C-alpha cells in the first residue's frame, strides 16, 4: 500500500482503471440527493435492477419476462434475460412462445432497454462524492501518460464528474452537432496526456445508430446501445465495441502498465479473456483487482489470479498476490503509519471486523484522492465530505 500510494501520487506510471457495476453501489444518497451512508445506492445492483425493470413492464411483456426469469433460475438477471429475449427475437419468426412471437420479443427488448435507461440515467449527488474525488486525483498531477478508464457501466456519472471539474477527456467520439465514433483516434495516442480516456466497453446511454453510423446524442434518452446484450463474442467484433476491446488489449500490452480494477466482478467472460491473453503476453503489465467480498466469494477473480501471477486480487479478508493465496494478518505499523492504514484497513460498520477497505469504490477513490497529500487526515467514512475532514487533526507522515 505504501508503494501503491507513491505510484498514485507521482503520476509517472502508465495507469488505467477498470470500473464495474459495483462502483455506483458504494455511493449512497438520501431523498434530497445528498451523500448519506444510510441512504440508497445511487444506482441499484443487478438483482434490484432486474426486479425494477420487470415490475415496470405490463401485460404480455411482463408475463414473458417473468417466464424467462423462471426458466433461467439462479442465472437470471437483467442481462441474461435480455440475452434470451434477443435470441427468441431472432429464432421465432411468427411462432409464439410465452405469448410473444419474434416481433413481440423485439418490442420487449426495446422496452427493457428503455427501462434500464430510465433507472441508470441518474445524476451525481448534489454534494461531492467518490466520482468527484476520483476526477480530482486524476487532475492533480502532471502525467506523461493519460489515465485510461475502462468501464462496463453505461451511466453518465463519470462524464458528469469530468465536466463538473472542467477536466478534458476523450470517449472515442468527435464532432459538435452529432459526434460520431472515430476508431482511428481510439487506436492512436495523438491527444495530449492531460486528456483522460474514457472507454465504455458495454456501450452507453446517449449512443444511437444514425444512418448506419454510431453517434452520441449528449443525453440520457437513447438506450439502444447500452451494452452488447447477447452473443458478446460476435457483437464485440462490430464497431464501436471492436475498437474499445482492442484498446483494452493494447493498453495491457504496453510496457510498465498498471490497471486498477474496482467494482468489477470478473464474471464478464469476454473481458476476462482479454485480460488473460494480454497478461500472458506481457509479463511487465500488472492488474490489481480490489474486490468488495471475501476471497472465497470472489471465485472468478481468484481463479484468474492463481493462473496469472501479474494479476493480484485484494479481497476483504485475504488476497492472491504473485499467484499465492493467503489471509490478511496485519502486523505492527511503521512509525506514523496508523493514519495511512486507516485509509485502507478498518471497519465498514460499527459492529463489523476490520477488513481491507479498497474493494469499496468510495474507499478506493478516497485513497486515490489522499495520495497527493503530504499530510493525511483520518478518513472516518468514505461518504464524509473532505471539508469536514479538513477540520480534523492532521498527522504528518513520511512518504519515504
Q: Answer yes or no: is 144 within a domain.
A: yes
Comparing 264 with 219, the larger pLDDT belongs to: 264
Q: Answer yes or no: is 392 within a domain.
A: no
Q: Which of 86, 120, 154 is the last residue in one of the domains?
A: 120
Look at residue 231 in the predicted model and tell me its pLDDT: 45
Query: Are residues 235 and 224 located together in one domain of the fold?
Result: yes
Query: Are residues 176 and 137 located together in one domain of the fold?
Result: yes
Q: Answer yes or no: is 248 within a domain.
A: yes
pLDDT, one tens digit per residue, over 7-61 is 888 878 899 999 998 899 999 988 888 888 888 888 888 888 888 899 999 888 9
Lowest mean pLDDT among 229-238, 240-249, 289-298: 229-238
Contact between residue 272 and residue 266 where contact means Cβ atoms under 8 Å apart: yes
Q: Answer yes or no: is 396 within a domain.
A: no
Query: Are residues 154 and 283 located together in one domain of the fold?
Result: yes
Q: Answer yes or no: is 393 within a domain.
A: no
Query: Are residues 215 and 312 located together in one domain of the fold?
Result: yes
Q: What is the mean pLDDT of the chain?
A: 83
Looking at the structure of the chain, the number of domains it has is 2
> Per-residue pLDDT averaged across 180-194, rounded?
86
Cα separation, 119 vs 24, whole angstroms: 12
Q: Answer yes or no: is 35 within a domain.
A: yes
Query: Are residues 180 and 103 located together in one domain of the fold?
Result: no
Query: Are residues 351 and 236 located together in one domain of the fold?
Result: yes
% of the chain beyond a pLDDT of 70: 88
Contact between residue 380 and residue 350 where contact means Cβ atoms under 8 Å apart: no
Query: Are residues 33 and 150 located together in one domain of the fold?
Result: yes
Query: Are residues 12 and 113 located together in one domain of the fold?
Result: no
Query: Are residues 109 and 127 located together in one domain of the fold?
Result: no
Look at residue 291 in the predicted model and tell me its pLDDT: 96
Look at residue 143 in the predicted model and tell me its pLDDT: 87
> Is 80 exceeded by the pLDDT of residue 174?
yes
Lowest mean pLDDT among 77-86, 110-119, 210-219: 210-219
Query: Are residues 203 and 258 located together in one domain of the fold?
Result: yes
Cα separation, 28 vs 223, whole angstroms: 24
Q: SS in 3 state form for 138-196?
A: HCCCCCCCCCEEEECCCCCHHHHHHHHCCCCEECCEECCCCCEECHHHHHCCCCCCCCE
Q: Which of 99, 120, 141 is the last residue in one of the domains?
A: 120
Does the N-terminal peptide bond of residue 240 adopt cis geometry, omega within 30 degrees of 0?
yes
All cell numbers assigned to 36 = 448519506
Please give the residue range of the domain that contains residue 96: 46-120
Lowest mean pLDDT among 113-117, 367-371, 390-394: 390-394
Q: Answer yes or no: is 363 within a domain.
A: yes
Query: Are residues 35 and 144 located together in one domain of the fold?
Result: yes
Q: Which of 120, 137, 155 is the last residue in one of the domains?
A: 120
pLDDT, one tens digit per residue, over 216-235 is 876 666 555 555 444 444 44
Per the listing, cell 419474434 goes with 102
Lowest mean pLDDT among 175-184, 221-230, 257-266, 385-394: 385-394
Return the closest-CA partner of residue 376 out of 399, 360, 357: 399
> Per-residue pLDDT averaged across 66-93, rounded?
84
Query: Are residues 152 and 251 located together in one domain of the fold?
Result: yes
> Cα–Cα distances in Å, from 21 out to 41, 49, 154, 341?
12, 11, 9, 26
Q: Answer yes or no: is 129 within a domain.
A: yes
Amino acid at each position: 500500500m505504501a508503494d501503491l500510494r507513491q505510484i498514485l501520487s507521482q503520476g509517472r506510471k502508465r495507469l488505467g482503471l477498470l470500473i464495474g457495476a459495483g462502483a455506483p453501489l458504494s455511493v449512497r444518497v438520501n431523498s434530497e440527493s445528498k451523500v448519506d451512508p444510510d441512504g440508497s445506492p445511487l444506482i441499484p445492483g443487478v438483482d434490484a435492477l432486474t426486479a425494477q425493470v420487470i415490475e415496470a413492464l405490463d401485460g404480455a411483456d411482463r408475463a414473458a419476462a417473468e417466464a424467462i426469469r423462471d426458466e433461467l433460475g439462479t442465472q437470471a438477471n437483467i442481462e441474461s434475460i435480455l440475452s434470451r429475449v434477443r435470441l427468441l427475437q431472432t429464432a421465432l419468426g411468427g411462432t409464439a412462445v410465452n405469448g410473444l412471437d419474434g416481433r413481440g420479443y423485439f418490442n420487449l427488448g426495446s422496452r427493457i432497454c428503455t427501462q434500464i435507461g430510465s433507472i441508470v440515467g441518474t445524476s451525481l449527488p448534489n454534494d461531492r462524492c467518490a466520482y468527484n474525488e476520483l476526477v480530482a486525483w486524476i487532475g492533480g498531477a502532471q502525467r506523461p501518460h493519460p489515465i485510461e478508464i475502462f468501464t462496463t457501466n453505461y451511466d453518465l456519472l463519470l462524464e458528469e464528474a469530468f465536466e463538473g471539474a472542467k477536466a478534458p477527456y476523450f470517449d472515442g467520439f468527435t464532432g459538435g452537432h452529432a459526434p460520431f465514433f472515430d476508431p482511428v483516434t481510439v487506436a492512436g495516442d495523438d491527444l495530449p496526456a492531460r486528456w483522460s480516456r474514457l472507454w465504455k466497453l458495454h456501450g452507453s446511454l446517449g449512443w444511437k445508430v444514425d444512418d448506419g453510423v454510431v453517434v452520441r446524442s449528449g443525453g440520457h434518452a437513447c438506450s439502444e446501445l447500452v451494452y452488447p446484450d447477447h452473443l458478446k463474442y460476435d457483437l464485440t467484433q462490430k464497431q464501436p465495441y471492436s475498437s474499445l476491446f482492442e484498446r483494452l488489449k493494447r493498453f495491457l500490452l504496453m510496457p510498465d502498465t498498471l490497471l486498477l480494477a474496482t467494482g468489477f466482478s470478473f464474471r464478464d467472460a469476454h473481458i476476462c479473456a482479454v485480460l488473460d491473453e494480454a497478461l500472458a503476453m506481457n509479463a511487465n503489465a500488472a492488474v490489481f483487482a480490489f474486490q468488495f467480498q471475501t476471497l472465497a466469494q470472489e471465485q472468478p477473480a481468484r481463479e484468474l489470479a492463481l493462473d496469472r501471477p501479474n494479476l493480484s486480487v485484494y479481497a476483504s479478508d485475504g488476497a492472491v498476490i504473485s499467484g499465492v493465496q493467503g489471509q490478511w494478518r496485519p502486523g505492527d505499523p511503521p512509525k506514523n503509519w496508523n493514519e495511512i492504514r486507516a485509509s485502507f484497513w478498518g471497519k465498514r460498520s460499527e459492529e463489523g471486523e476490520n477488513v481491507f477497505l479498497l474493494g469499496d469504490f468510495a474507499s478506493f477513490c478516497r485513497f486515490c484522492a489522499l495520495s497527493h497529500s503530504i499530510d493525511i487526515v483520518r478518513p472516518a467514512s468514505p461518504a464524509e465530505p473532505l471539508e469536514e475532514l479538513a477540520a480534523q487533526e492532521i498527522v504528518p507522515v513520511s512518504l519515504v
